[in-house]
Every structure is written in C-alpha cells, then in structure tokens.
Amino acid sequence: MRIVALFIALAILEATYFLALTSLLMLGTLSIVHFMIFSAIGFMFFAITYVIYKLLKLQILMVKAGIRLSSEKIAIRNAVRKPRKRYLIFQVLAENAPSKNDVEKVFNKVFNEFFGIVGGGEANPKLVLYDEKSMRGVLRFVHTQRSKVLFALAMVSEVTDGKIGFIPFKIAGTLRKAKEIVKTLALD
C-alpha cells in the first residue's frame, strides 16, 4: 500500500511538472526545443518510476510466497516427524492400591473420552510398567503428544471424583533410565 501511495505521489508530481512546462510554453518563456528536451527528461523519469514500482511489487510478492512456502515446509516437517518414544514415570494416589488393569482401564477411558481414536493413534499411550506395592508406573507415549498425555493424567482425578490421582514425576528417553528413576524416586 505504501509503494502504491508513493507511486501515485510521484505521478502527480510529474503531471504537475508537465503542466508547468506547457504553461511556460504557452506564455512564450520557453522555446519549443527546450520544451522538447525538458518533456523528454520528464518522460524518462516517469518511466523509471514506473519500472521501479513494478519491480518492488514483484519483489514483495516473491517474499510473501517465500514466507508461505517456508511455513508450509515447517508444518509438513512437523506432521511427518519421526515418532520417538518417551517414558513418563508416575505415581498413583488412591486409598486402596489399584491393580495394573484398573490403572490401564482408567487412563484409557479418560484418554479416549478427551482425544478419541485419532488422538490415541497420535499419542499411542501404553502402560509399560506398574508396581502395585509402591503404586508407581511407567507410561510410554509419542514425544510430540506430551501435553495430551499430561492433560489426560490430570483429568483422571476429575473423572473419578478425586478417588484416584496421577502425579507425573519425570519423563525419560529410554525404558532403562525410566526403571532406574522408578527405583530411586519416592513421594516422601
């Protein structure tokens, strides 16, 4: 918009220049030869202005297209990112220690309720390890879907009316490391 405004302003300036030249010719203060020379210079300037305006417009269009292409590239790269595994170490808080089946059932129910089949396919959550005594476990999921898994864990206590609560401790990159953390971590 600014370039268009600049071009219009320059065009008006050049039109005024031509008007002044014509009026000087009609008044007789300017000879025909001089008039021709000055009007040729005026035309030249107008042509240069027009070419620059077109070039600038083209460049702006190219930059915009470039930005769109790069953002699309980033979006595609995010969509086809190689799914990597992450292991979340959590602690279950409940009055009676729930079994592995119960924990899996509750988590799957909550996750399906909030994110459905598509979300489940993206995150692919699975209870890998659960110790009933210490009520600690390890949950595997895809690294890009961390927030979904954490949100589902937070919603467990809402869905079960505060009977069961999940507290996430840490996220590890390998199962071996996760097992080590499970041994060392404790709530008290």
Partner 1 sequence: MVKFEAPVDFHVDVGTLSNGTKVLKVLRKLGFKTVVLAYTTTDNVCELRNLDRNVLEECKKLKLNAFVKANILSENRGHLKRCLRKIRSKVDVVSISPKNLDIARFSGRDGRVDTVVFTYDGLVRFYGDSQAKLMSQNGIALEIPFNRLWGKKKISYKTFFFLKRTLYYTVKFRVPIIISSGATKITEVKSPKQLTSLLEVLGLPESYAKLSITTYPLAILKRNVHKRSRKHVQQGVDLA
Nearer to partner 1 (CB atom), residue 32 or residue 117: 117
Pairing of strands 85-94, 136-142: antiparallel
- Residue 94 binds partner 1, judged by CB under 8 A: yes
- Which span sits near partner 1 by CB under 8 A: 24-32, 59-67, 79-87, 156-164? 156-164
Q: Of the candidates 181, 78, 84, which has an alpha carbon nearest to the alpha carbon of residue 138?
A: 181
Question: Among 142, 153, 172, 182, which residue sits at the site for partner 1 (rule: CB under 8 A)?
Answer: 153
CA atoms within 13 A on the CB side of 99: 2
Q: Which stretch binds partner 1 (CB under 8 A): 37-45, 128-136, 163-171, 175-183?
A: 163-171
CB 182 within 8 A of CB 89: yes
Q: How far apart are CA 103 and CA 164, in angstroms?
A: 9
Q: What CA dihedral angle connects 54, 56, 60 and 66, to 10 degrees?
A: 100
Min. distance of Cβ 147 from partner 1 in angstroms? 4
DSSP letter (8 states) at residue 162: T
| Contact between 162 and partner 1 per CB under 8 A | yes
Give whichever of 3 and 185 is closer to partner 1, judged by the CB atom.
185
Which residues lie near partner 1 (CB under 8 A)? 93-94, 113, 146-148, 150-151, 153-155, 157-158, 162-165, 167-168, 187-188
